[in-house]
Every structure is written in structure tokens, then in C-alpha cells.
Structure 1
């Protein structure tokens, strides 16, 4: 009798699994006049003095045979302009709280060296400094986001940096800027007051940092430029909700333009796993960590709402991405890792979370831009390739400054070893020209998913699609096969009387456009 019951249970359970896989996920989009605009700065990037991000990445020097503009690679500039990056964070990261900006101005041959104590113990010559970075941002047509030194710097040093970059009148710092060849100020808007103050930025308590922030912010002013500057507090380490609570409670809102959150998708900090040779179980664990972003944004946002119900203070997830062991044979302090379809899925699902929380999340910075962690660009001497993550951010760029269309649906589940995750991730927006864009991610590594979306009331009829997918989760673009993973036309959908019926393959990212 027990045996018969067990057979019946297994048969029923298997049938339920099969049925669940065949079920259609109904996604509802809403035209909501009160919905927020998806701030383009959610699609920001990060360039730290770390490994080969700056030296050997962005910057090769003006004597290099690699085509460059004042030492910055032309191919990287072109690729990032195509990506429409809205902002770029620099010089760190942990490096920011050891960086003294005056060491990086003036004639290059006269600049002192610095030992990068955080990343590999390398000696840098400060040949890439404030002018080089801000001029590069002008080439990129992107907003600079400067991280100020609070850990080992002074209030005067940071106040001087603001004056040096932003003040057009006569002052000691503007005179120095002009002496160094730049007549007009750059008008830098975004300023981070320290980085990871709870860790490499000084191992401070939340209460102590709140006091330091108030002191530094008091002396950072910009009376000339419209809107002044946006002062950004060093935010929490992932789920440290007390950090956010203390800062929101103890810093006056008129001194606080934004507050950060840092979260990396990591299997285990002591055993991160390989960037390419990973199992489905490791993929699942990575996505489990990545999708925790939904909880983090929601809970940090609830704390901010308590003190700032009008949502005047922005949440900035100014470090996010996947973190694995470095590629075999590379310097462990340089954090160089490959970029697979796992990273494409991770990026698409994370950006959907940010889009859907656009009322509070108004900036984010993928870590990092070139040759470090979940990079969008990798270089090998004169060679350059774009990664699957690059292509996700490229096809998602349609959401920048578009009006959010709130989505609602009950996701099917992706199950590995008895643990489950939502298999489907989605966000949608309507741009200024009336075009509708729907981003869909299938997190499931084995099963396709069927999705139905009613679009009758959206005022669009003709849809096209783009997909990023590959044969294996572990596939990546290499210097020998740089175009193994690129966006291609997606045909796996039909528009039946105003209802889109979509079949999305395993571990893939899709963007649909309706006009």
C-alpha cells in the first residue's frame, strides 16, 4: 500500500512539474500617469584604479600605437558612446579614499607616484588624473561622478576639488585649473562623499560616518551652476539596513542628494567559483544572490520612505554585478574575469529590478567598465571586445528616461536542488515618441517559458524583438570569437488580436518594441 501511494505521489508530482512548465505566464502592463520616469542614470558605469581598468584599459598614453585621443583609446570611447552611458564613477571604489586629487594634475612628468594599496600593490604614476578623466567624460558625452576622499583626505581637500572643477570666477583653485590648461569649469554635478565608509573607507560606524558626512557636505558648495551639486552618502553594505536608518535619521535631507547601496552577486565570498567553468548549481546560487536586489531595494526604500516620504533623496546602487574568482593565470588583485551568458541574465534581471523601482532608484553603476569584474569591455593589448553584459545594456538603453509601465505577473519557478527562484523577470516603459519597450528575462537554465501580454490598450500594433542567447550558459565572447554572443532578431512571438504570445528560450534576454 505504501509503495502504491509512493508511485501515485511521484506520478502526480511529475505531472504537476510538467504542467507548470507548460503554463503561460500572464504579464499585465499598466498605463499609469503617476508612474515615474526611469532615470537614465540607472544605466551608469564605474571606472576604478583597479587592475587594467584605467591603465591598459581606458588609458594607454598619447605615445601608444593604439589609436587614442590624449591617451584614451578611441575604440573604447566609440563603444561606450554606442552604449549611451549616462554617467561614469571615478576614481573608486576603495581607491578613492587613498587618492589625493592634486597629485594627478599639472605636467605629467612632475606628478608623484602612488602605491595602489588596495589592488595588487602596484605603483601608479598619476598620469591619469582629474583633467584626463573629465575630458574623457566630455568625449563620452557622459556625466562624471567623482568619489571624494573622506578616509585619508580632509574637508579642505574635497572642497578645493569642487572649486577646481566647477568655479568659473577668480579663486585659488580656478586659477590653478587655468594654469593647468583648462579655462572653463567642467561643472561636475555628482559627488560621492567617501566610499564604503563601513569598510575600506575607514571602518567607521554609521553614527560616526553620519557626522563626517555632515562636516564634509557643509563645505562643499556650488553657487554658480544650476541645481548646484548632488552630494551622495556612502551607503550600506548589501543588507545593512541599520546603516541606511542611521544616515536618514541623522543627516538633514537638504544636505543629502542621494544615498548608496552596494551589492554583488557572489556564491560565497571565500569560494566565489570560476567565471566560466561553473555548474548549474553555481549559476543558480549566483542568480539567487543577484535577485536579492529586489529585497534590498524594497527594504532600504521603506526606511528612506519613513524619513523622506516625498522621495526627494535618490537611492544609488553605485556598485553592483557578478563577482567570481579571477581568470586563471591573472593577478588576483586585478579582478579580471570573463563574462558569460550567466552575466547577461544577471544584468537583464537586475536592470528590470531597478526599472521597476524607478521612483526611488535613480542611479546605478555596474562594476566595472573595462577589464574588471562584470565588465562591458575587455582588452588585450590592441584588441578589444564587448561582452554579453555590454549587449544587454545596449538593448536596454531604450528605457533611459522613458516612462515606466508598471508590470504585474505571477512568475513560474526555477528549481534546483529543492530551492526555487522566479524564472521570469520583466519591466516595461513608454518613450517620448510613444514606443513601448518590454524587457523579458528567462532565468531558468533548462526550460523555455511561455508569456502572454495584453497590449490592446497600449496604442501600438507592430512589434519587433531582439534576443541575447547562446547554446550554453558558459558561452562567452573571446578575442578569437568576439561575436559569439551578440543581439539578434527575435521571432518567438505572435500578436494575436492584441495579445502577445511569447516563447522565451532558457537563459535568454529579450527586448520587444511596439510602435
Structure 2
């Protein structure tokens, strides 16, 4: 077992880790909304106002802080008035982006707000800029947030919601460089300036306006967008980055993959750090006071769909490989919490790197779900300075074996999360806690073979266990971190 040192300096407290970094994303795509979240009030599956009880409870367990909706590409073809009023009168449409299935709009604004209320999370609305109008988005804001006499407020009351909702997060468009209109950054910047002018703060509700940011490594988009919005700065810009070991045409299997594909996936997950750093450097040139945050509101692993499923539904299984890339990515977000103010994994149920999978009345928690649970106490804690003397793992592609982040909560307890993506090597990690003594320690371990996953026949194959693979010596903690595993370590005075 190789020994490495990990330093955590509790005296060097850095940025706040916004709870919204642990956010999620729900789109009208495949079985995410229908069957995954919403089954309707008449369903035999236990529900409250149509929302699956088991899914809601699971999302509460990981302290889901924010949920993005209705898309995704679907957002820029979504017309919100189709999804309000009596369900029998709502318009039906074909979801041309995802699977060519009929969308009956039975899940709309009222249902989404009900879902967020049941979970206890903030709603994040992605507005239609691609095929919508300024008037349409402005009226949606009025419908949701105005507490007064107006056509939209009266319509909301007629539809059963007397008091307005609170809406904080508003995305002005989605992927406007692609499915949201194939725009150039200069054109989108003009559109953003126009749209944001009419998205008003009503009845004490203050909108946190988010501009469409870049796709992955499109640094030119960030540069041009920031340069054109200097006197109309958004609260944040939204970056999208997906990890896939193959190509868009052949992304690779979610469950049947080689060690080479495994390490290639790790390499691409670690690229998130470089991508964030480079976009932040550009943002800082235009925004020296760091007024604009960076939101990664679509991220995760994207593989080929499970055999025999609708290609447009993007349904994939979720293995220990996904858990480790989630751990690496969340550690990166924590380390960049001075600029990264929110992130939303894609997607919450039954789509891409989902934290939950459903099949009829059955529900399973994926390995990625368990990472969010193990990491949940980072939410709203303060990042601590930490550094690990790392080793490389891999074959043809070499990556850092260990990833880590540490935070301190208001009560003085510390959470240290460590992933080991090395498939062959266990590590003995000597944790040196600078300026802090602790008398109480507990740990959890998530470990499996790289392609281990939870099935509907057995949903407990990959799940965390209480872990005692550590000891305290001379104000240090000697921690064993096995191959292909993630450990969370909690320290109390």
C-alpha cells in the first residue's frame, strides 16, 4: 500500500461552498418527468399530488437544494401557457428533441412548483429564448411572481394558485449556441440584454438572472459574451460540459467497458478543472470584482443508451465509474467555489447520469446518488485549504489517483471527501490537520468493482458502509483509501 500525505489547513478558510453546487436538472426527456417524477394522482404508485413519494423522499435525503426545469433543449420549444389550467384542456405536442413522443403537458408550472415545495428546494426556470418571445417570458414571470391585479396574476388565481410563488433562479435561454437557436455570441448577447430588461422583479421577488454561457471549451463565447454585457452583467453565466469516453456517434457502453475506457473517462472528468479555470480567467478580465458567478447547470457522464431502449430517451445504467467521476467533479466544484455558485447534474431520474432510476413501482438509488449523500454536508460549509501529494493512475492515459476537498461547518466539524480512481492501488493517506485538534472521527466508504451497479433485482450492490479503516496518531489521521473507492471522513472536536 502506497503512502501519501494530505494537508488540511483549518486556519485557511476560503470561499463558501454554496449548497446549489449540489443541484439537479429535470427535463421533459424520456422518463425523467413522466414515470420518473410524476405519475399522476390516479396512479397506484404512492404519490402526493402526482409526485412519486419514493423519489421525493430520496431527493430530500440528499438535501437537493435546487432543481432546473423544463430543459435543456426542450426549454426552447416549451410554451408555458400550454401547461396550465385543467389538464384535459392542455395542448398536446410532439417532443421533437427527445424521442418523438407525445407530450401532453400534464406536468407544467403548477406541478413543478409543487414538486419543489415537496422536496424543499429552489426552483430554477429555464426560459424560452430560442422559439419564444420577450412577451412570453415576461408574462411567465408575472404569472409566477406578481401579487397584484394583472392579466397573468388573475390567470394564476383562476388556475388555483391564489398567492404568487417565489422564483429566484431564471435562465435566459439554454444552449443558444446550439439547440437554443444556433446563435453567435454577439447575437445572443443582444438577445440577453433585451430579454433581461423585461424580466422584472415583482412583488418583492428578486430574480437571479443567468445568461447562456459556453459549451465546454468554447472560450471565445465567454470572452465575447462578457465583453458585450459589461453594463448589463448577469448574476451568472451557465457552462455545459459532458464526459464521454468515445465520440458523439459512439459514446461507449455504460456498463460494458475496458480499463482503457475507464481511465479515459477519468481523464475527461478531471478536465473540468482546467475548463473552469480558463473560463474564470476570461471572466475575471471583464469582471475584476467577481460579480458574475459561473454555473455548470449541465454536467455528467453521457454514454450510449441501454440496449433495447428508445435512443431519444437517453436512459443509461450507473456504475461505480459514474460514482468516482461524480466525486472528482464535486471536489473540483468545491475547490472553485469562489466562482462556481451552482451546478446541476444531468439528470435527476432515468436520464444520463441519474441519481435515481425507476421501473414501474420500483425505484433504486444509483452509485452517483450515494456520492451526493456522502458529500451533502459540504453544502453551505466553508472550503478549507487542502493539498494531496498525489500519484498517477492509469495505463496509456495517466490521471491523478486521488481527488479531495475539505470544508468546515458552522459548528466547527470538518468533512473531508477523497476519491481513489486507481483500479489497482490502495493508498494509505496521512491526513495532517493544521491548526485543529479532534477527538471524534467517523467515516463512510463506497467501493465496488469499476462496473458494479445497482439493479432492480438488487438495489444494494453498490452502497456506502460505515468504515473503520483509519486511526489517529499524533494529531494525524492515517486513512486507508482502497482502490476504486470514495471515502468521506467527518471530524469533530
> Are 1:483 and 2:460 counterparts?
yes
Structure number, greater radius of gyration: 1
Q: For structure 1, which segment, 70-79 or 245-254, has the greater mean C-alpha deviation from structure 2 after superposition? A: 245-254
Q: Which residue of 2 aligns with 1:184?
A: 163
> Are 1:162 and 2:146 counterparts?
no
Cα distance in 2 for partners of 1:406, 1:168 equals: 45
Q: For structure 1, which segment, 181-190 or 244-253, has the greater mean C-alpha deviation from structure 2 after superposition? A: 244-253
Q: Which residue of 2 aligns with 1:10?
A: none
1:46–1:88 CA contact under 8 A, matched in 2: yes
Task: Determine which of 217, 221, 230 is the counterpart of 1:239.
Answer: 217
> Are 1:448 and 2:426 counterparts?
yes
1:144–1:189 CA contact under 8 A, matched in 2: yes
Cα distance in 2 for partners of 1:334, 1:456 equals: 49
> Are 1:388 and 2:367 counterparts?
yes
Q: Which residue of 1 aligns with 2:386?
A: 407
TM-score normalised per structure 1: 0.94
The structure showing larger relative contact order (alpha-carbon pairs under 8 Å, at least 6 residues apart) is 2
SS in 1 for 2:117: helix
- Unaligned segments of structure 1, at least 5 residues: 1-21
> Are 1:506 and 2:476 counterparts?
no
1:231–1:255 CA contact under 8 A, matched in 2: no
Cα distance in 1 for partners of 2:202, 2:438 equals: 46
Task: Determine which of 352, 356, 373 is the counterpart of 2:335.
Answer: 356
> Are 1:378 and 2:347 counterparts?
no
Q: For structure 1, which segment, 406-415 or 369-378, has the greater mean C-alpha deviation from structure 2 after superposition? A: 406-415
SS in 2 for 1:305: helix
Q: Which residue of 2 aligns with 1:74?
A: 53
Task: Determine which of 183, 193, 196 is the counterpart of 2:172.
Answer: 193
2:266–2:325 CA contact under 8 A, matched in 1: yes
**Alpha-carbon offset, residue 34 of structure 1:** 5.5
Q: Which residue of 2 aligns with 1:3?
A: none
Cα distance in 2 for partners of 1:359, 1:448 equals: 32
User: Residue 456 and residue 259 in structure 1: after superposition, are their counterparts in 2 closer, same or farther (change >3 A)?
Assistant: closer
User: Residue 306 and residue 255 in structure 1: after superposition, are their counterparts in 2 closer, same or farther (change >3 A)?
Assistant: closer
> Are 1:467 and 2:445 counterparts?
yes
SS in 2 for 1:218: helix
1:114–1:124 CA contact under 8 A, matched in 2: yes
1:436–1:460 CA contact under 8 A, matched in 2: no
**Alpha-carbon offset, residue 114 of structure 1:** 1.4
Cα distance in 1 for partners of 2:285, 2:227 equals: 9
**1:259-278 Cα distance to aligned partner (Å, 9 max, x none):** 01100111122211111011
**1:296-333 Cα distance to aligned partner (Å, 9 max, x none):** 11111111111112222110000000010001111110
**Alpha-carbon offset, residue 459 of structure 1:** 3.3
**Alpha-carbon offset, residue 211 of structure 1:** 0.6
SS in 2 for 1:112: coil
Task: Determine which of 286, 302, 313 is the counterpart of 2:265.
Answer: 286
Task: Determine which of 213, 216, 230 is the counterpart of 1:252.
Answer: 230
Q: Which residue of 2 aligns with 1:15?
A: none
**Alpha-carbon offset, residue 254 of structure 1:** 4.7
> Are 1:437 and 2:415 counterparts?
yes
Cα distance in 1 for partners of 2:19, 2:292 equals: 16
The 5 A counterparts of 1:135-154 are 135-154=114-133
Cα distance in 2 for partners of 1:366, 1:252 equals: 29
Task: Determine which of 242, 250, 256 is the counterpart of 1:264.
Answer: 242
Cα distance in 2 for partners of 1:461, 1:117 equals: 58
Task: Determine which of 199, 202, 208 is the counterpart of 1:230.
Answer: 208
User: Residue 221 and residue 83 in structure 1: after superposition, are their counterparts in 2 closer, same or farther (change >3 A)?
Assistant: same
- Unaligned segments of structure 2, at least 5 residues: none
**1:370-428 Cα distance to aligned partner (Å, 9 max, x none):** 000000000000111110000000010010000100212231001312x3101100000
Cα distance in 1 for partners of 2:35, 2:384 equals: 41
Cα distance in 1 for partners of 2:437, 2:80 equals: 52
Cα distance in 2 for partners of 1:457, 1:117 equals: 57
TM-score normalised per structure 2: 0.98
1:319–1:366 CA contact under 8 A, matched in 2: yes
Cα distance in 2 for partners of 1:511, 1:400 equals: 14
**Alpha-carbon offset, residue 255 of structure 1:** 3.9
Greater fraction strand = 2
Q: Which residue of 1 aligns with 2:98?
A: 119
Cα distance in 1 for partners of 2:259, 2:6 equals: 27
SS in 1 for 2:313: coil
Cα distance in 2 for partners of 1:191, 1:497 equals: 50
**Alpha-carbon offset, residue 118 of structure 1:** 0.5
1:253–1:313 CA contact under 8 A, matched in 2: no
SS in 2 for 1:207: helix
Task: Determine which of 90, 107, 110 is the counterpart of 1:128.
Answer: 107
Cα distance in 2 for partners of 1:304, 1:492 equals: 43
Cα distance in 2 for partners of 1:265, 1:288 equals: 9
> Are 1:493 and 2:470 counterparts?
yes
2:70–2:126 CA contact under 8 A, matched in 1: yes
2:230–2:286 CA contact under 8 A, matched in 1: no
The root-mean-square deviation of aligned C-alpha atoms, in Å, is 1.1
User: Residue 345 and residue 159 in structure 1: after superposition, are their counterparts in 2 closer, same or farther (change >3 A)?
Assistant: same
**Alpha-carbon offset, residue 253 of structure 1:** 5.4
